[in-house]
Amino acid sequence: VVAPVIAIDGPSASGKGTVAARVAAALGWDYLDSGALYRLTALAAQKAGVAWDDEAGVAALAASLDVSFAEGEVCLAGEDVGDAIRSEDISGGASAVAALPAVREALLFRQRAFRVAPGLVADGRDMGSVVFPDARVKVFLTASAEVRAERRYKQLIEKGFSASLDKILQELRTRDERDSQRAVAPLQQNVDAQLLETSNLTIEQAVAQVLAWQQACG
């Protein structure tokens, strides 16, 4: 029997990561932040001096990434890089390497390896369409660009970083556009995904909705 999967896809800063992690915790399931794998790939390339548009070079790195996720820490070759992979620079790099088919292919098997009993909650762009097409619950979680920019802005300010709301909004729009227009696994709501528009929802309400859909699947 294969473990059940809840796939949560959506644009950057939609809050899908927070919602996915809480749903996983509520169910006692594992959680996969697939975006972190693209971010780690971009960081590994930068560290190795491999250009983000060198498809074969980046794919080779992606296939052999030495990563570990434990207790909320993200490690690359044993080093905690949780903050480093969230920088704007690496966000752009992740979006760039994610547009390369060979990189997506290399990360496909690594993502599927996270599917273990009793279940997995996975968030990203193509969880329901490509990586786990047989997921029992598929959600497209989104919010307006303005709301997402505001959420990202607050997050940065709370962490003590300085930030510009305008700049964040602009970068979000650029990244959305690149993620939705690329040839492979573009960001889009699948026909079989439930839409969860969170502009006017709290995190708790969004989590409760996903759990209700999961329960409805028996």
17 belongs to an annotated ligand binding site: yes
Amino acid 83 reads: D
Is 14 annotated among the ligand-binding residues? Answer: yes
Helices 88-97 and 165-181: crossing angle, nearest 10°? 10
Find out whether 35 is annotated in a ligand binding site.
no
111 touches 131 (CB < 8 A): yes
> Which residues have CB under 8 Å from 26's CB, separation 6+?
207, 211
Tokens of 77: 């070759």
Q: Are 139 and 7 in contact (CB under 8 A)?
A: yes
CB of 94 to ligand C5P, least distance (A): 4
Name the minimum Å distance from CB 152 to ligand C5P: 10
**Cα separation of 11 and 101, whole Å?**
19
Cβ neighbours of 199 (radius 10 Å): 12
The answer to whether 180 is annotated as binding is no
Q: Annotated binding residue at 144? A: no
Cα separations (Å) of 73 from 4, 70, 107?
24, 5, 20
For residue 4, whether the previous peptide bond is cis, meaning omega lies within 30 degrees of 0, is: no
Q: Are 26 and 211 in contact (CB under 8 A)?
A: yes
Closest distance to ligand C5P from the beta carbon of 218 (Å): 27
Give least dist CB 195 to ligand C5P, A: 18
15 is in an annotated binding site: yes
The nearer residue to ligand C5P, 37 or 207, going by C-beta atoms, is 37
Q: Between 74 and 207, whose beta carbon lies closer to ligand C5P?
A: 74
Pick between residue 30 and residue 179 the one whose CB is nearest to ligand C5P.
Answer: 179
Q: Is 13 annotated as a binding residue?
A: yes
Which residues of this chain interact with ligand C5P, rule CB under 6 A? Answer: 12, 34-35, 38-39, 94-95, 98, 124-126, 175, 179
Closer residue to ligand C5P in complex, CB, 53/212: 53
CB 86 to ligand C5P: min, Å: 8
- 28 touches 38 (CB < 8 A): no
Residue number with CB closer to ligand C5P (57 or 186): 186
Specify binding-site residues for ATP.
10-18
Specify binding-site residues.
10-18
